[in-house]
Structure 1
Amino acid sequence: MTETDPIVEAIFDAVAVTAPEIRAALPGRRVESGTDNPSGESVMAGDLYADELLADALTAVDGVGSFVSEEREAAVDAGGGVGEDAYAVAIDPLDGSSNLRSNNAMGTVVGVYDAPLPATGRDLVAAGYVLYGPITTMIVADDDGVREEVVEGDGDGGVSRSVVEDDLRLPEDPLVYGFGGRVPDWPDDFTAYAREIEDELKLRYGGAMVGDVNQVLTYGGIFAYPALVDAPDGKLRLSFEANPIAYIVEKAGGAASNGETDILDVESEGVHDRIPLYVGNEALVERLEDALANE
């Protein structure tokens, strides 16, 4: 394992420890909880369970000053403030939880900021995600690059983290694409771009951003959840989803954009702000920006 910030390593240790527990609890939590999150979306029972588990684990880490979740209106003060000696951790506890009913992939997204939220992606010191696929894997990105690990529980409450790729890079020859949103809701300029891409790449879209982005990291290509006619600000949250994923993809040699500028440069007004997200191989993202600019 590459040498890294001890607080960051402790954060991902805590995330890894929760992963088998979250996964094991999902079969009994495939129903709606009867509550909405701060973005007005219906919350699954699995969302709430993962959120509580991660909150307990991460606020106990020495060096975490605050815990901010997609499922919570405000940050949880973990003590010590946020700054040089403490980080703010932003979590999407169960990305793609709508896939619970159909038993498709989902994950947990993590952003480690050295500034109080809301902040820009330039304030990230690390980011990662857990993918609950056929096996449980964790992607971790920091100044040293991007690595992929397999996370396994030992049955006694312990967890092992085995590095399977210590320098993950996007393949130069892209193979796949995945675009979210209903096609009738796509703006005309994005639709025209999509028609070009579908003639060049293979469709891989599963309805969970983590799974779809992982396809892009593995095979090269582009993932997008565009601005929509009825949702011009997009669907994904900047602090919990777009910034961490942009950080990971850029550290892996790719690019990330909101259609006009680098995601990591976007100023945020609130922790639950939404934004369009386009990530993948640099040439494909640049083509997209050109297409949108020519509207």
Structure 2
Amino acid sequence: MAHLCTAAASQFHFSNAFKSPLPQHVLLQQGWRWERGRHCTFSSVTCQAEQAGHIDAELTIVLSSISLACKQIASLLQRSSIINLTGAQGTINVQGEDQKKLDVVSNEVFCSCLRSSGRTGIIASEEEDVPVAVEETYSGNYIVVFDPVDGSANIDISLTTGSIFGIYGPDEQCLVDLDDDTTLDQAREKCVVSVCQPGSNLLAAGYCLYSMVFTLSIGRGVYAFTLDPAYGEFVLTHEDIKIPKTGRIYSFNEGNYDLWDDKLKGYLDHLRQPGPNGKPYSGRYIGCLVGEIHRMLLVGGIYGNPQNKNSKNGNLRLLYECAPMSYLVEQAGGKATDSKKRILDIKPEQVHQRTPIYIGSPDEVDKLLQYLA
């Protein structure tokens, strides 16, 4: 395999290394073997992708603002018990879910960073009732959807959490001019319509796994960056990730087993039986979609959040969770479906629409579909 920066350059056309702010003897004491040209940062990747014409300058700025938001949220998570950010906020979000303190604060962090970028036109958050248009003075063209803290139930027990985002361009069919006589309801309707695009329209998507890996695709493969706390920058550590075609791990919340239909139960019963190697599949469930997908990208397997007797559309939001993750997994060679349709082909009818999802290694998803047929 070609060297890290050289191989990535075939997709992003970059090769320059950054200079460490620390003296070489300090780096050696910290276990670094520092060589110029052997490390690429998130900033250098996006800047040189821009120079190569794969993304424009505005998208580069938006991506930078998202990475900044993730760094700030990571810092808050690390200090949450110290600065009294654990526990419930005492409010209910539009999903009918109890909000954690960090849900609220992290949402504010994301919104602030995106607004200050000056390149975001509409912001849609899982924690907000409706999408919000950025004030005209600071507005740009990009539409950003996000879940500020995925797996927030894990915060108080210091387990896996993450952030998910997707970036769309303006939908040409939705660009209705708003004049001074436009009502607030009309403006909101325009925001909603602009945001409700199928995942196939995504220009970029990614997630941040705390702590702390930033994974991104701009439609040219999947790349992951690990935060180096020595200088506060994301460093490219996983290049052009390809999900294994098969895997031996399944991730379903089996506490809902009795609520699923018989075909799905039959599939899970099959996974529990010894395979050709004499071993069954391993069940792993973190309760955080970011953690499940990150593991799957690296070692393969399948994740499912099915419909059930109590929730005909499953529990995950199409716009904020399923579409961005499906975009990433497909870029890595995997598949994502609701059992009948490709996730990226589903056009949301509502901003908080939910959907069942089965996502992962292509052979594992195909096997599942055979059982559900």
TM over 0.5: yes
More helix by share: 2
Letter in 2 for 1:171: P
- Alignment-derived partner of residue 340 in structure 2: 260
Alignment counterpart, residue 214 of structure 2, candidates 129, 133, 138: 138
1:210 and 2:290 matched? yes
2:95 is aligned with 1:22: no
**1:192 corresponds to which letter in structure 2?**
G
1:286 Cα deviation after fit: 1.7
Residue 107 of structure 2 aligns with an amino acid whose one-letter code is: D
Aligned position for 1:100: 155
Which whole-Å deviations, capped at 9, do the CAs of 1:27-85 have from their partners, x for residues lacking one?
A: 2322111111111111100100100000000122233111100000111212569xxx7
The question of 1:69 aligning with 2:125 is answered yes
Q: 1:128 maps to which residue?
A: 206
Identity %: 29
Counterpart residue identity of residue 217, structure 2: A
Residue in 1 that maps onto 2:258: 184
If each structure's strand is expressed as a fraction of its own residues, which one has the higher value?
1
1:57 equivalenced with 2:57 (yes/no): no
The CA RMSD over aligned residues, in Å, is 1.9
SS in 2 for 1:182: helix
- How far apart are the structure 1 equivalents of 2:228 and 2:284? 26
More deviation in 182-191 or 242-251?
182-191
CA distance in 2, matches of 1:56, 1:123: 25
User: 1:89: how far off?
Assistant: 0.3
Structure 1 distance, partners of 2:296, 2:366, is: 16
Partner of 2:360: 280
Distance in structure 2 (CA, Å) of the matches to 1:287 and 1:35: 42
Structure 2 gaps of 5+ residues are 1-44, 172-193, 274-279
Question: Are 2:305 and 2:356, in contact at CA under 8 Å, matched by a contact in 1?
Answer: yes
Give the TM-score, by structure 1 length: 0.91
| Cα distance in 2 for residues equivalent to 1:151 and 1:271 | 32
The aligned counterpart of 2:178 is none
SS at match of 2:68: helix
- Structure 2 residue aligned with 1:47: 103
CA distance in structure 1 between the aligned counterparts of 2:143 and 2:297, rounded to whole angstroms:
26
Q: What amino acid does structure 1 have at the position aligned with 2:201?
A: D
Structure 2 CA distance for aligned equivalents of residues 25 and 171 of structure 1:
34
Amino acid paired to 1:161 = F
Question: How far, CA to CA, are the matches of 2:116 and 2:268 in structure 1?
Answer: 45
**How many residues of Structure 1 are paired with residues of Structure 2 in the alignment?**
286
3-state SS of paired residue (2:351)? coil
List 4+ stretches of structure 1 deviating above 3 A: none
1:171 aligns with 2:222: no
